[in-house]
Amino acid sequence: MSANMKVAELTGEEITIQERTPFQIVMMRFRKHRLAMAALVVITLIFMLTLFAPYLANFEVTEISVGDYFLPFGAVDEDTGRVHYLGTDNIGRDYFSRLIFAGRVSLTVALISVLISETTGVIIGAISGYYGGALDNVLMRFVEFMLTIPSLPLLLIISSMLLANEDLIPIPAIVLNTFGKIMLLNPRDTRSAVLIIMVLAGFGWLGSAQLMRGMVLQIKQQTFVEAARSLGASNTWIIFKHMIPNAMAPIIVSASLGLAGYVVAEAALAFLGFGIQDPVPTWGNMLSATQTFMMDKPWLPLVPGLPIFICSLSFNYIGDGLRDALDPRLKM
């Protein structure tokens, strides 16, 4: 007689085992990763600040206080009594207002870029790994060729071409209106943001495609796939119903880690003058505007630089936590 049965007889109570879904198990394991949980709280706060930017900002992003240049933190506007929480920039614009609106633009660009690139990579990688043969060779040789090209110079060249001739790629009005409402931008500035998203996503799917292909090659010969084939399931059904869902764990981790890279990439393009341009605030172009004055005011680059650093670090910790939570071989 087992110990559980003896305890049940002595107490007169039935012992039941609580069942947990796979999602509950992953969340339980993720919550044990303290750095990941702290990073999730930080990212949530940043997202809330950017989401409610129109209600939290004391000033318009383009509002200029003539003569109030480089005001210190907490300075009060003499005319209106409004507070410049982070001071003002070189032409008298409120830093705090621009910073949270910039976060809305930068994070939206990063999130949409990750979503598009991971979706593209998942589909191409799954098709390549499942069908194999000549199709697999063509797709993977193209991916390997693109990965051999230095990404930053290519990003700079393509983004400069697109931004110099914005009509080169027509963008539907519904896309501009949708993204414009999310980022609170006019159609012209939204077009620039969408082009940057296209550039980033256009090179971001390569690693995801390789990762998904490797996962599909591992699972396509397993029993449940053979069972689906024997029941008459089509290849498309097997790919999207069985292959992709069972291979999503590393893709989720890759997407969370990739967010940090996209935040930095967007900031790098804007910093070098090939991204979204001033007066639309992004963390990158705000950082670029400080380089002229950083010798006299060394704290100035920290205002837009710290959010980039904090978001990148937080996304990396979240990715580490998801990797540990989704790996059944690790004991937490």
Copy the structure tokens of residue 213.
Answer: 């292909």
pLDDT in tens, 263-294: 998 888 888 888 888 888 999 989 888 888 88
Q: Which class for 4: exposed (0-12), middle (13-18), buried (19 or more C-beta within 10 A)?
A: exposed
DSSP β-ladder status, 83-84 and 75-76: antiparallel
Q: Which domains does the chain have, with CATH numbers?
A: 22-70+101-326 (1.10.3720.10)
Express the helix, strand and coil content of the chain in percent, nearest 5 each: 70, 0, 30
3-state secondary structure string across 135-201: HHHHHHHHHHHHHHCCHHHHHHHHHHHHHHCHHHCCCCHHHHHHHHHHHCCCHHHHHHHHHHHHHHH
pLDDT in tens, 148-202: 888 778 788 888 787 777 677 888 889 889 998 999 888 888 888 888 898 889 8
- Look at residues 61, 67, 275, 63 and name the one whose alpha carbon lies nearest to residue 160: 275
Cis peptide bond N-terminal to 22, omega within 30:
no
Q: Which class for 64: exposed (0-12), middle (13-18), buried (19 or more C-beta within 10 A)?
A: middle
Positive/negative CA dihedral, 282, 39, 53, 183? positive
pLDDT in tens, 65-113: 877 888 888 888 887 888 888 988 888 899 999 999 999 999 999 999 9
Residue 328's pLDDT band, with cuts at 50, 70 and 90, is: low
H or E element, residue 209: helix 187-219
Residue 62's pLDDT is 86
Q: Which class for 146: exposed (0-12), middle (13-18), buried (19 or more C-beta within 10 A)?
A: middle
CA–CA gap between residue 124 and residue 220 (Å, rounded)? 15
